[in-house]
Amino acid sequence: MTNNTAVRQPLNLPLITAILVSSGLLWRVWLISGAKQSLLLIIALLLGLTLYSAAFSFAGAYRAILVKRQTQGVQAQLLMLAIASILFAPLLAKGELFGLTLYGATAPVALMLVVGAFLFGIGMQLGDGCASGTLYTVGGGNRRMLVTLSGFMAGSVIGTLHLPFWWRQPSWGTITLTQLTGSWQSALALQLLFLLLLSALLYRISRHSDEAPDTSNFRLLGGPWPLWFGALMLALLNLATLLTAGHPWTIAWGY
């Protein structure tokens, strides 16, 4: 083989297919719904890319604590929440930006929250994924997760049929830290302190496990991404969702 001989690289057919399908879908959304929905689709694609490239898990991270005492996944979630809190707090306190009304993803503290959280926690473990995890693993080619995805959609449809019953159950109303503390600055400080204490607790737990630090090579294109970078990207893309849609990333509502 001479130096002039071209080295043939295999085509990445899944990547090419994903780009073509995404481009066609984006063009279709632009024609039907305009710029705002197209921008939200781009953000959604980047969210999926981030979850997949960083192998960022929500449900699986808690299972790792209980089974293996591994805390890196939840630590990454705490980092994501801290960054998002710092970015969101002043914007939500203002309530408006460039004519766009901004509001948080708040809901009443009620019986339906307790029951729903309990059932959802069981479902995530049995289905091996939460809402976002199910979508990105299906997108990554895991056909087994189509069963979980079907369950998500069926349960959401069934849930709308008896939602009025749950709204009539006991409720303590919507409670936010800003209401309790009197200012968004105090609420943010309390939130960050709480996240810091949780992070310290998880660090103590990890000291008694054989969890190895994440030393994987960081490749922006093609991955893998370290968990800290995934947390940063998710927080920034959540901010982009807020500034585009007027509310944070609420993926479960999509079902």
What pLDDT does 85 receive? 95
Using CA of residue 224, residue 227, residue 232, residue 234, what is the dihedral sign?
positive
For residue 181 the two structure tokens come to 């503390």
* Residue 39, domain member (yes or no): yes
Other Cβ atoms within 10 Å of 70 Cβ, number: 20
* Residue 73, domain member (yes or no): yes
| Torsion angle of C-alpha atoms 197, 232, 118, 254, degrees rounded to 10 | 160
* Residue 159, domain member (yes or no): no
In which element (H, E) is residue 97 found? strand 96-97
* Residue 70, domain member (yes or no): yes
* Residue 82, domain member (yes or no): yes
5-64 pLDDT per residue, tens:
444 445 567 667 777 887 888 888 888 888 888 898 899 889 988 988 888 888 778 888
Residues of the chain with pLDDT under 50: 1-9
| Torsion angle of C-alpha atoms 254, 146, 69, 58, degrees rounded to 10 | -10
Cα Rg of the chain (Å, integer): 21
Structural domain tally of the chain? 1
- Give CA–CA dist 136/153, Å, rounded: 15
Residue where the block lists tokens 């199910």:
134
What pLDDT does 48 receive? 85
* Residue 164, domain member (yes or no): no
What pLDDT does 233 receive? 95
**Domain span at residue 32?**
13-106+176-210+220-254
For residue 125 the two structure tokens come to 């473990």
**pLDDT > 90 fraction of the chain, expressed in percent and rounded:** 24
Per the CB < 8 A criterion, the answer to whether 102 and 242 are in contact is yes
What pLDDT does 229 receive? 93
* Residue 182, domain member (yes or no): yes
The pairs formed by 204-213 with CB atoms below 8 angstroms and a separation of 24 or more are 205/65, 205/69, 205/71, 206/69, 206/70, 206/71, 206/72, 208/69, 209/68, 209/69, 209/70, 209/71, 211/68, 211/69, 211/70, 211/71, 211/72
Per the CB < 8 A criterion, the answer to whether 136 and 58 are in contact is no
* Residue 111, domain member (yes or no): no
In which element (H, E) is residue 36 found? helix 35-53
- Give CA–CA dist 215/226, Å, rounded: 8
Per the CB < 8 A criterion, the answer to whether 126 and 155 are in contact is no
What pLDDT does 2 receive? 44
